[in-house]
Amino acid sequence: MRSPQRSRLAGLPARVQIYEVGARDGLQNESEVLSAAVKVDFIRQLVAAGLTAVELTSFVSPKWVPQLADAEEVMGALGPLRGRHPVLVPNERGLERALACGATEIAVFASATESFAERNLNSTIADSLATFAAVVARAEGNGIPARGYVSMCFGDPWEGDVDAEQAAAVAAALVDMGCSEVSLGDTIGVATPGQVVDLLAALDTRGVGPDQLAVHFHDTYGQALANTLVALQHGVTTVDSSAGGLGGCPFAGSATGNLATEDLVWQLHGLGIDTGVDLESLCRTSIWLASLLGRPSPSRTVQAIGPTLA
């Protein structure tokens, strides 16, 4: 199997943590509902490929995300895993379910825009942040760290462009309530590198540095890798991605798949950045999962490497 030729660029980190979202953010947007056994196998394969941060599932109401209605079953079957393994919780009821399953880290999901907060959370931004503050405080009381997501950081299908200060205010609020890491989401994939720099600068003025941040890019306009690179050049070292490019957002019709983990690994390894990920193993996993979903993987790297793995 071909590997990228390594050539470092100045100013980049020596290591990047890839935060894998395929089992949650990826599968929640697939029309094919996979069994709990397949999900457990998928997660175990991701960990075996060297991914040390894998988001497992969501404790959102099955009414809203039926693809992940088996969260308890998946958690019960997984057993101990190496690394970080957050679960998404929407409120205190979701937290109770997660705690009962032995969750070791949670994530909460905020919006930078009122329109998406209303559609995705059935709430205002302010009310949703108040809900999350209670969830994060209770999680901390149980010794469980919390991650925060901010969706629609760069553009919204109902409101259009999103000002960097608007997104920064929500991200800073998540940090202030105790989130140990905040992921900046380009939910509909419209960002370009200058916008990424603007948002990081706006957060810096609020005292939120790149060591507290992750980036989460969708590839609707083919900009995810470019946006990732500029984030790394400005100090970010955690990048969200999805094996095989799975996912989108079921509440934002224009959102296409996440940045494919394989494409991210190819770029990072070519830059001489350590990820700990075995690219061949990961590609085999994504090819296997795509076969179960009945469609080819959209990852360019999987498409290029796949024929050599037969």
* Residues recognised as catalytic: 249
Q: Which two tokens stand for residue 4?
A: 């990228």
d(CA 309, CA 214): 32
Strand order through the sheet with 238-241: 53-54, 17-20, 238-241, 213-217, 181-186, 146-151, 106-111, 87-88
How is residue 221 written in tokens?
A: 């306009």
Mark out the alpha helices in the chain (DSSP H runs). Answer: 36-48, 71-78, 92-100, 114-116, 125-141, 164-176, 193-205, 224-233, 261-270, 279-293, 300-305
Give dist(CA 178, CA 105) in Å, integer. Answer: 13
Q: Which residues of 40-57 are buried (b: 16+ CB within 10 A; e: fewer)?
A: bbbbbbbbebbbbbbbbb
CA gap 219, 189 in Å, rounded: 5
Domains of the chain, earliest start first: 17-309 (3.20.20.70)
Q: Which of 173, 164, 98 is nearest to 133 (CA)?
A: 173
Q: What is the pLDDT of residues 34-57, one digit of tens each?
A: 999 999 999 999 999 999 999 999
| Rg of the chain in Å (alpha carbons) | 18
- Confidence at residue 248, expressed as pLDDT on a 0 to 100 scale: 53
Percent of the chain scoring above 70 in pLDDT? 97
In order along its 310 residues, the chain shows pLDDT tens digits of 889 999 999 999 999 999 999 999 999 988 889 999 999 999 999 999 999 999 999 999 988 889 999 999 999 999 889 999 999 999 999 999 999 999 999 999 999 999 999 988 889 999 999 999 999 999 999 999 999 999 999 999 999 999 999 999 999 999 999 999 999 999 999 999 999 999 999 999 999 999 999 999 999 999 999 999 999 999 999 999 999 999 754 444 444 689 999 999 999 999 999 999 999 999 999 999 999 998 889 999 999 998 899 7
CA 12, CA 282: separation in Å to the nearest integer? 24
